[in-house]
Structure 1
């Protein structure tokens, strides 16, 4: 039996701009996981079991490059798992691997106990966990970059608006600077080339760089209890492209801010990190006002304002509109006060930590 885990994520800075190729963001992997377990099947049939979807194991067959399950409803619910398996096995066959029957189990603790989503990128972690466990099962020993690319190819077959930063940090873990690739170019490659050929190519715009946090820096995470719809919010913000002057200005301001944030990381400058977190919040607030989509909801504003009263630098995380906010502090004594005030305002502190990989 083989078991692997893929962490969830939170954006720290660069949201929305990161959907454009070449514009940088900073993310963290958090110590909450999707876990994938696999073992070779004892019969000539495979099964997939997603514990979080409350399914009994679903049997599957292969038809050419496709995984086919008899239960249509289950097939839809398991589409991320199934697509990841299909993409990986196309790659494995190109490497001369004979396909095997297996039993695959997926479990997750990325949501709260009642099933509410924290916004930690569960779909990305599912894709990554499946690719990682199949990589070990078929003994391909793939580099992280290739695991990322395979998960992205599966993701692009299912949706097109994601920057795939959540996939990147789920693979590389820790603190990560990231910019996305040219989506049109990659999609064209997917449509005209084999999976192996797409993985082998250099992807224009793609950038990943691990970062080391300044000494004594701590990330506090608060959850509003209200889920956000990232695809809707991103699509609404994309409308700002109709005003190229404003949208271009937003992109350049975000890029400059994130570049300075990355420099603060590299120079062990906590105050510089906090300054750029505040600057990024202001840039996103300006864009939010122009797009009129309520990225920083009243509850997220309260979360940030509470943290700021205790000297922390705070902002929304990810698409906003609900889900989580983050606060950056260098004084560990502030944590208890911020948590207490958040709780009093019905904001749930999430005691998660940055996950640095296995």
Structure 2
């Protein structure tokens, strides 16, 4: 049996601007995972199985109908749409390389949510896509690069939805700390429609930037969870309306770009104080946009999280779309994080003692 895992993610800086091609963000992979296990069926089998431990109790069978995966349970098919689409995209690539398809049993498990099923906002759909692509890559012994695994997961994602920047996919593949800017979505979508999967993978995608970073020495990320989920799709849609005011939106993009470039420079020069300064600056940029869009990115709960961390010397901000989910604080590991955790708890912010995940 082959077993692979794909980590969840958190955004550190550059949120919202990252939805535009060429505007960078910084993310981390965290040590919570979607795990995919895959094994060959018997040589006589005419079907395979998909078993999602987080969605159903029983495996469902699947067969291939032309280039589609047909699942025995229609209700399960809806719940398994990310798994099914990832398989379909990968198998298009396999067929284009004149490799015979095989039947398999695939099992998906996850610890990206809390024990009662509440979402932390760690990007579970991205990790599902990546884990399935990675498992199939090993199963067929394709030996694909990280870039190709990323691109195949993105193609699957774009067949399902189009608003995502796909930064969560990138960091789930590359792990660790990552600087990322998204690609020209319209160009890639056109390529998907007009050419083969092979050709789409081989081309340079305009705007795409994926760069692993090394964190400054003695720097730590603290993560606080508000316990309330955010609707990233809704928040990003609302912010997109700001494009109607190109002066404001253009200024926001430029400010975010400058801030994140300085943040990346602070990483490369091993400068914690520079990182903290840019985290605080990025918070202000997002607050300005929040005021303009009136969508409550920094909820009262997240504001409390940030203020507590700042009081104890951390540089804090919302993570991702905001509106709930998590906030982060960058501290020097010499700082006493117990004080932050204790005060967070007293204000109903749950410390998530996750670590940055640096690959298997």
**If the length of structure 2 is used for normalisation, what is the TM-score?**
0.99
1:20 aligns with 20
Q: Distance in 2 between matches of 1:80 and 1:55?
A: 18
Q: CA deviation at 1:208?
A: 0.6
1:7 aligns with 7
1:230 aligns with 232
Contact kept, 8 Å, 1:222 with 1:348, in 2: the verdict is yes
Q: Which secondary structure does the structure 2 equivalent of 1:251 belong to?
A: helix
Q: Which secondary structure does the structure 1 equivalent of 2:282 belong to?
A: helix
Q: Distance in 2 between matches of 1:234 and 1:54?
A: 30
1:117 aligns with 119
Q: Which secondary structure does the structure 1 equivalent of 2:63 belong to?
A: strand
Q: Distance in 2 between matches of 1:142 and 1:335?
A: 40
1:284 aligns with 286
Q: Distance in 2 between matches of 1:97 and 1:131?
A: 16
Q: Distance in 1 between matches of 2:261 and 2:148?
A: 26
Q: Distance in 1 between matches of 2:331 and 2:248?
A: 32
1:101–1:254 distance in 2 versus 1, CA, 3 Å: same
Q: Distance in 1 between matches of 2:99 and 2:349?
A: 50
Equivalent position to 1:347, from 346, 349, 352? 349
Q: Distance in 2 between matches of 1:120 and 1:256?
A: 26
Q: CA deviation at 1:331?
A: 3.6
Q: Which secondary structure does the structure 1 equivalent of 2:54 belong to?
A: helix
1:31 aligns with 31
Q: Distance in 2 between matches of 1:196 and 1:77?
A: 28
List 4+ stretches of structure 1 deviating above 4 A: none
2:87 aligns with 85
Q: Distance in 2 between matches of 1:350 and 1:54?
A: 27
Q: Which secondary structure does the structure 1 equivalent of 2:107 belong to?
A: strand
Q: CA deviation at 1:341?
A: 0.4
Moved more, 246-255 or 92-101: 92-101
Q: CA deviation at 1:332?
A: 3.8
1:145 aligns with 147
How large is the Cα RMSD of the aligned pairs? 0.6
Q: CA deviation at 1:64?
A: 1.0
Q: CA deviation at 1:45?
A: 1.1
TM-superposition CA deviations, 1:39-65 (whole Å, max 9, x none): 001222100000000231000010111
Map 1:178-257; keep pairs closer than 5 Å: 178-257=180-259
Contact kept, 8 Å, 1:218 with 1:332, in 2: the verdict is no
Q: CA deviation at 1:338?
A: 0.4
Gaps of 5+ in 2: none
Equivalent position to 2:168, from 166, 169, 175? 166
**If the length of structure 1 is used for normalisation, what is the TM-score?**
0.99
TM-superposition CA deviations, 1:85-136 (whole Å, max 9, x none): 0000000111121000000000000000000000000000000000000000
Q: Which secondary structure does the structure 2 equivalent of 1:160 belong to?
A: coil
Q: Distance in 2 between matches of 1:45 and 1:55?
A: 19
Gaps of 5+ in 1: none
TM-superposition CA deviations, 1:126-170 (whole Å, max 9, x none): 000000000000000000000000000000000000000000000
Equivalent position to 1:258, from 257, 260, 264? 260
Q: Distance in 1 between matches of 2:176 and 2:102?
A: 33
Q: Distance in 1 between matches of 2:209 and 2:219?
A: 24
Q: Distance in 1 between matches of 2:289 and 2:230?
A: 17
Q: Distance in 2 between matches of 1:55 and 1:191?
A: 36
